[in-house]
Amino acid sequence: MTIEPQPPTSLPDSAIDHTHALSYWNSVSSDNNGMLGGYPHVSLVDLKSSSIFLAKLRRGKQRAVKQTLPPLERVADCGAGIGRITKGLLMQVARRVDVVEPVEKFTDELVREMEGSADKEGVGGRIGEVVNLGLQDWVPEMGAYDLIWNQWCLGHLTDAQLVLYLRRCKDGLRKSSAVDGGGYSEKGGWIVVKENLSSDVKKRDLYDEEDSSVTRQDEKFKKVFKEAGLKIVASELQRGFPKELYAVRTYALQPE
């Protein structure tokens, strides 16, 4: 009798199906409720914490100095949805925000809203390029970005796609910035990753059938960042979210 070879235990990210994910996202409403899975009210505290995180990151060692920070030149909001973060954070800190999002109805909503707004340039910055692609297919322009923001969307990429994507982001960072004297940005731009963390007691990533995504554990993120040649320069756990939600961690990354 021959023994049949057993298939390797399948990894959660091997179940990711981009077509299924896109049909899920196309079925939800183009508003904060759709973006945030029925928790639209967390948006405010999320944006406030992100704004403080980013200001601390930019000030670097000069945290005590409270003068206004100059605008970043060019940033990207990745997996941007309807541009919740673009409007609520990035346009306030950057001259130009490129938007990368595969679902056209979300970016159409953002563009419509910007066209209808009295201040088309936004409070500070304006929308630059709008790119309707999944991040697995997006190639950032080399050396172009002061900041590449990724929030609540990287679970749609497999581990292998994520490593490759982050390597491309690393190449997409501006090498050194003239605008942020004193902060980390003397060493160039940052990639920010803000994502849910797996709560699995066996420390596994968790696959979600509904939107075909994975929720990774902190250790997995660290492994992926290392493989992509990135180091964590700052990291923070989100506070003030409802207890029933996953823990959320923000990582700021720069090339090793």
Ligand X SMILES: C[S@@+](CC[C@H](N)C(=O)[O-])C[C@H]1O[C@@H](n2cnc3c(N)ncnc32)[C@H](O)[C@@H]1O
For ligand X, the binding residues (CB under 6 A) are 18, 21, 25, 35, 79-81, 84-85, 101-103, 106, 134-136, 151-153, 156
Q: Which is nearer to ligand X, 151 or 238 (CB)?
A: 151
- At 55, which helix (H) or strand (E)? helix 42-59
Q: How far is the CB of 127 from ligand X (least distance, A)?
A: 15
CB of residue 5 to ligand X, shortest distance in Å: 32
217 annotated binding-site participant: no
C-alpha radius of gyration, the chain, whole number: 19
Q: Which is nearer to ligand X, 129 or 186 (CB)?
A: 129
Question: Cβ distance 109 to 82 under 8 Å?
Answer: yes
User: At closest approach, how far in Å is the CB of 14 from ligand X?
Assistant: 15
Residue 100 three-state SS:
strand
Q: Is 84 annotated as a binding residue?
A: yes
> Nearer Cβ to ligand X, position 103 or 144?
103
Helix (H, G, I), strand (E, B), or coil: what is residue 1? coil
| 67 carries a ligand binding annotation | no
Rounded to a whole number of angstroms, the minimum distance from the CB of residue 182 to ligand X is 29
Amino acid, single-letter form, for residue 255: P
Residue with Cβ nearer ligand X (17 or 186): 17
Burial call 164-199: b when 16+ CB within 10 Å, e when fewer: bbbeebbebbbeebeebeebbbebbbbbbbbbbbbe
For residues 210 and 255, give the distance between their C-alpha atoms in angstroms, rounded to a whole number: 34
Closest to ligand X by CB, 19 or 67 = 19
Name which of 125, 129, 157 is nearest 144 in CA terms.
129
Q: Is 174 flagged in the annotation as binding?
A: no
Q: How many residues does the chain have?
A: 256
Is 167 annotated to bind a ligand? Reply is no
| Cα 133 versus chain centre, distance | 14
Q: CB 236 → ligand X: shortest distance, Å? A: 16
Residue stretches of the annotated binding site for S-adenosyl-L-methionine: 79, 84, 135-136, 151
Residue stretches of the annotated binding site: 79, 84, 135-136, 151
